[in-house]
Amino acid sequence: MPGLSKRTADFTDSVIRRMTRISNKFGAVNLSQGFPDFAPPDALTTRLAQVANEDFHQYSITWGAQNFREALAEKYEHFSGQKVDPNGEIVVTCGSTEAMMAAMMTVADPGDKVIVFSPFYENYGADTILSGAVPIYVPLVPPDFTFDADLLEEAFRQHPKALILCNPSNPCGKVFLYDELKTIADLAVKYDTFIITDEVYEHIVYRPYEHTYIATLPGMRERVIQCSSLSKTYSVTGWRLGYIIAAPEIIDTAKKVHDFLTVGAAAPLQEAAVTGLKFGDEYYEMLREEYTAKRDLFLKGLDDLGIAHTVPQGAYYILLDISEYGYESDLDFCEKLAERVGVGAVPGSSFFREPENRYIRLHFAKKEETLNEALCRLEKMKKVM
């Protein structure tokens, strides 16, 4: 057999998705791969059922259905205060996973450098490998996951093509403050670098924190490629609806990359999702309240069990420190946790560039009863691990 591509030689499968399979094998409460076990809003599923009998079964426009882009532009302007042209500045993609990949392919050539904060969402590693880019990692230092501006500038001095910014951050739950975004923005201007964002948790932010779109900072509109999705905001991770928002010159190229990668996102799902994009403020307020209640319930439960954890400012992940258990491998710990305790988690090492082995990631995008069941099981963690 001829050799497979060199590009894929360093690939492992996704540890996040692998942990879902392991959780299922042991009948564990799966708090590894981040997706809800509750239903999307009724209005979305009702509309989806109607759409089945309407004329949305062929390709939509490759860069996204007109009404979807218009509704998205309106929603984005409402929350960011920034106007977006639905025709020239948006591409609808198959989830933000494709959005990020298409953004990378749009700006980076093989050998180009890209700054990635560590810990990072594991797809960014694969995105750089597939596009041939070379990552430069800059640590977000626990416990508060701040970065050192001098270290960041050192990375910029290597003249990267882009920086990847996940805000709110998966897995550490950091919400970047305005001043931090300003530091990043100023460096991006100084070293003429693109910023590719992953803002899928833009509406899952806990008070007093607020999400700031870095694209709204002075001078950023022309160099920020914003990627986001409907997955987390409307609890529809399986619909695979994402998008890129950027300046027209960037979108022109991103449209072509996207067209040749996937042609387009599913037409019936785009049509149904327009309903969600048109929700009023009360929906997003309710989302925030519901996630705040889940976070508080889960964190209090862990506190009651004496289990130390990070406190997320946004997104729905927490990191538990497992150093007291003395495991050499956090992957081994997670496999045993699924088997012996019956809770699925992701080993922290799949997010850190540094040789970090002391964290596991759990998420709380689950019904109250699921979280209570997980807490009930975690009670025996100290005894059996």
Is 229 a binding residue for ligand GLN by CB under 6 A? The answer is no
**CB closer to ligand GLN out of 20 and 87:** 20
Residues numbered 6-25 forming contacts with ligand GLN, rule: CB under 6 A: 16-17
- Both tokens of residue 350? 């799949």
Least distance to ligand GLN, CB of residue 276, Å = 19
- What is the CB neighbour count within 10 angstroms for residue 22? 20
- Both tokens of residue 195? 């910023």
**CB closer to ligand GLN out of 69 and 174:** 174
Bridge partners, residue 318, by sequence: 362
Place of tokens 């700006």: 107
Least distance to ligand GLN, CB of residue 15, Å = 10
For the chain, the C-alpha Rg in angstroms (whole number) is: 21
**CB closer to ligand GLN out of 187 and 331:** 331
Among 34, 312, 342, 347, the residue binding ligand GLN under the rule CB under 6 A is 34
How many of the chain's residues bind ligand GLN (CB under 6 A)?
Answer: 6
Q: Where are the alpha helices (DSSP H) in the chain?
A: 15-25, 42-51, 66-80, 95-107, 123-131, 149-156, 178-190, 248-262, 267-277, 281-304, 330-336, 368-378, 381-384
**CB closer to ligand GLN out of 121 and 333:** 121
Is 318 a binding residue for ligand GLN by CB under 6 A? The answer is no
**CB closer to ligand GLN out of 170 and 310:** 170
**CB closer to ligand GLN out of 7 and 17:** 17
**CB closer to ligand GLN out of 30 and 193:** 30
Is 235 a binding residue for ligand GLN by CB under 6 A? The answer is no
- Both tokens of residue 299? 């964190």
* Exposed/middle/buried for residue 385 (C-beta within 10 Å: 0-12, 13-18, 19+): middle
Least distance to ligand GLN, CB of residue 317, Å = 7
Is 93 a binding residue for ligand GLN by CB under 6 A? The answer is no
| Distance between CA atoms of residues 25 and 278, nearest Å | 40
Is 78 a binding residue for ligand GLN by CB under 6 A? The answer is no
Least distance to ligand GLN, CB of residue 17, Å = 5
Is 106 a binding residue for ligand GLN by CB under 6 A? The answer is no
Is 270 a binding residue for ligand GLN by CB under 6 A? The answer is no
Length of the chain: 385
Q: Which residue is nearest to ligand GLN (CB)?
A: 34
Is 344 a binding residue for ligand GLN by CB under 6 A? The answer is no
| Distance between CA atoms of residues 55 and 315, nearest Å | 36
Among 23, 30, 33, 212, the residue binding ligand GLN under the rule CB under 6 A is 33
Least distance to ligand GLN, CB of residue 34, Å = 3
- b (16+ CB within 10 A) / e for 43-77: ebeebbeebeeeebeeebebbbbeebbbbbbebbe
Residues numbered 151-170 forming contacts with ligand GLN, rule: CB under 6 A: 170
Instruction: Kindly give the pairing relationship between strand 162-166 and strand 194-198.
Output: parallel
Convert residues 111-130 into a mask of x (bound to ligand GLN by CB under 6 A) and - (unbound).
----------x---------
Query: Count of alpha carbons within 13 Å of 353, Cβ hemisphere only?
Result: 15
**CB closer to ligand GLN out of 100 and 250:** 100
Q: Measured between alpha carbons, how far apart are the two ends of the chain, in Å?
A: 44
Least distance to ligand GLN, CB of residue 153, Å = 29
Candidates 380, 379, 373; CA nearest to 28 is 373
**CB closer to ligand GLN out of 170 and 270:** 170
Which spans of this chain sit near ligand GLN (rule: CB under 6 A)? 16-17, 33-34, 121, 170
